[in-house]
Amino acid sequence: MSFNYPVLIARFVYALACSTTVQASPPIELTISATHSIATPWVHTLKHYFVPEFNHRTKLGADSPRYQWTEIYGGALSKWHNSLEVTEIGLTDIGWVGTLWEPAKMPLQNITYHLPFITDDLGVLVRVYNHIHRVLPAARQAWLDHNQMYLGATGIDTYHLLTKFPVNSLADLAGRKLLAPGPSAVWLRGTGAVPVNGALGTYYTQLKTGVADGTVSILTGAHAYRIHEVAPYITLVGIGAQIMGAISINLDAWRQLPPSDQKILAELGDDYSKKAASATTRRYESALAAMLAEGAMLSELPADEKQKWIDGLPEYGEQWVNRHERMGLPAGQMLQLLMDGVRGSGVQPQREWDRYE
């Protein structure tokens, strides 16, 4: 058998050139943004898990990533109150959206802030919340109405008391001014405490100058803003972990992705939620330990006093359902899915908001 070596060599060079052309095709460009810094667990997880993991799952080869990212964190693209809009109009392809600050546009997504004492377990809460978005069309539609696809929830650790005075009973709160902004003000109903507006960034000064006597706060935030220096009494209450945001992708960007990568992105949204929740729980534990090491004093509200607090709250579940069903939203179904999901995870809610007369 004879070989035509010039022809074989030409074919080999052509095949190599074709292969090189495929591998050298430019990666797809995506932008991801968040309104908070990478010091926060949910943004840290975006940068150090979500982006590299998506690249890993979609790579063409060891040295050929399919996607090239522009990462914009720390509010460089938008402030907290514009997070929904920047993803909606496509300034970012994937964005972290603070649903906590969108009660009018995304009322269903703010359900947990209106229902305290469900669970302290953030991992359970994000799993249930993500499941609700898979099975309840109205939950997904809230995102579609703003030109984006929901990917995965993020939340924060449970709320406790930090005060200038020791708290041994509910009576100790009577007449005290406690920083509890926005929807968290309703958690104080029946305690005798007076809610005062503020934000984590203003708490230290408000407490130091006597505007308030204490605060209802997450410990991760309290430690970061040194709240324990001016309100050194930490009383564990466990008002509940909360869902305060989610990551989503602009619909136009979503539709440009191949179906296989859309599937990967949807699966990764769930994984991201779990990772961010675990990171938040670790941060909670380290924050509490650090504050105690720095002189804070720790106690736990006695169980019978906590039960008085819980029992003294109005029927927030019924009120939330009635208010939102008048808007044409399936609020009753959303509440039932939330409570059944928590119970189905082996957690007993401290107040069963779906069970009212």
Residue 65 pLDDT level (bands cut at 50, 70, 90): confident
11-27 pLDDT, tens per residue?
A: 444 444 444 444 456 88
Mean pLDDT for the stretch of residues 271-292: 98
Cα gap 334→326, rounded to integer Å? 14
Dihedral sign, Cα of residue 236, residue 239, residue 240, residue 243: negative
Nearest to 332 by CA among 341, 321, 324, 342: 321
Instruction: Check residue 266 and give its pLDDT.
Output: 96
Cα gap 277→153, rounded to integer Å? 9
Percent above pLDDT 70 for the chain? 92
Nearest to 338 by CA among 69, 153, 144: 153
Give the burial string for 223-248 (b: 16+ CB within 10 Å, else e): bebebbebbbbbbebbbbbbbbbbbb
Across the chain, mean pLDDT equals: 92
> What are the CA-CA distances from residue 97 to residues 128, 134, 192, 256, 267 (Å)?
19, 18, 34, 21, 19
Instruction: Check residue 357 and give its pLDDT.
Output: 67
Span of 17-21, 31-35, 151-155, 213-217 with lowest mean pLDDT = 17-21
Instruction: Check residue 200 and give its pLDDT.
Output: 86
Instruction: Check residue 230 and give its pLDDT.
Output: 98
Instruction: Check residue 24 and give its pLDDT.
Output: 54
Instruction: Check residue 23 and give its pLDDT.
Output: 46
Cα gap 233→251, rounded to integer Å? 47
Q: Residue 8 pLDDT > 70, yes or no? A: no
Instruction: Check residue 62 and give its pLDDT.
Output: 64
The one-letter amino acid code at 3 reads F
Mean pLDDT for the stretch of residues 83-103: 95
SS (H, E, C) 148-184: EEEEEEEEECCEEEEECCCCCCHHHHCCCEEECCHHH
94-112 pLDDT, tens per residue?
A: 999 999 989 999 999 999 9
Instruction: Check residue 80 and give its pLDDT.
Output: 79
Cα gap 206→213, rounded to integer Å? 9
Q: Find the helix packing angle between 259-293 and 51-58, rounded to 10°.
A: 150
Span of 20-29, 34-43, 210-219, 285-294 with lowest mean pLDDT = 20-29
| SS3 at position 261 | helix
Cα gap 244→156, rounded to integer Å? 7
Cα gap 354→351, rounded to integer Å? 9
Residue 223 pLDDT level (bands cut at 50, 70, 90): very high
Q: Residue 40 pLDDT > 50, yes or no? A: yes
**Domains of the chain, each with CATH number or no CATH:** 7-106+125-155+248-279 (3.40.190.170), 159-241+285-344 (3.40.190.170)
Beta bridge partners of 163: 214, 233
Mean pLDDT for the stretch of residues 211-224: 96
67-77 pLDDT, tens per residue?
A: 999 999 999 99
What tokens were used for 249? 């992708």
DSSP-derived pairing of the beta strands 159-163 and 233-236 = antiparallel
